[in-house]
Amino acid sequence: MKNSGPATIRENKAATLKVSILQSTIELIGKKSFDKIHVNQICEVVGISKVTFFKYFPQKEDILLYYLRVWCFHRCVELSAEHKKGIEGIRYLFEKLSISYERNPGMFLGLISYLNRSDMPIRPFPLKRAERELFYPDIEKISEIDTLSLDQLFENFLLEAIFAKEITRTSNTKQLVLLLNSILYGTIMTVHLQQVEYPARLFKQNVNTLLDALRFGELSYV
């Protein structure tokens, strides 16, 4: 994304409102189900009308897609400075996912539920320049940092791992991304259903089991 000049007053106002809606939703949900939160409640907390709400989020579930997009944006900003690569990068993503899940379980469970109900592939919710600048006002050229999806981040790290020979006997990144997603969403559901006391441990254990198998060529069928 190229920076074409400073954001306008209208763009900044819209960005502030969208972020306020997201943050208020996160606070309202806590550990509750996303389905139990109503648009009226969000509007009351933010101080807006339903008409204004639907102007920015055509359906309530779009907040979940926005949350995921913002989450990925934060990771891309961090990675632009930390330069994680290959298997280290995949472990980094899972560590961040486990932390975010522990903080906002209702958002992740709501996202899984929504994805399960959807009949069509989900497109990333847009993240505009003014929103990027609102999150990181002190980073120059923040609008030029690409926001990759979680699948794209996984695939990039997998390609690096294969090139560096951290992963052997397979180069099918699409299948490997599916495996990582299976572990991610499976871990979230297991943690929720089994009421796992320390989710971060299970996240780490599951991804390390897969990465070790890939590293030592134990998964040659993919």
Per-residue pLDDT tens over the stretch 84-126: 999 999 999 999 999 999 999 999 999 999 988 887 777 778 8
Give 131's contacts (C-beta < 8 A, 6+ positions apart): 15, 18, 19, 70
Q: Model-level pTM?
A: 0.91
On average, the pLDDT of the chain sits at 90
Is the pLDDT at 2 greater than 50, yes or no?
no
Higher pLDDT, 218 or 82: 82
Q: pLDDT-based confidence at 70, cuts 50/70/90?
A: very high
Closest CA to 153 of 67, 64, 68: 68
Is the pLDDT at 220 greater than 60, yes or no?
no
Return the domain boundaries, the chain: 9-215
pLDDT digits (tens, 9 = 90+) for 173-195: 999 999 999 999 999 999 999 99
Higher pLDDT, 4 or 80: 80
Is the pLDDT at 48 greater than 90, yes or no?
yes
Q: pLDDT-based confidence at 5, cuts 50/70/90?
A: low
Determine the Cα–Cα distance for residues 131 and 70; give it in Å rounded to an integer.
9
Is the pLDDT at 217 greater than 70, yes or no?
no
- Region 9-215: CATH code: 1.10.357.10
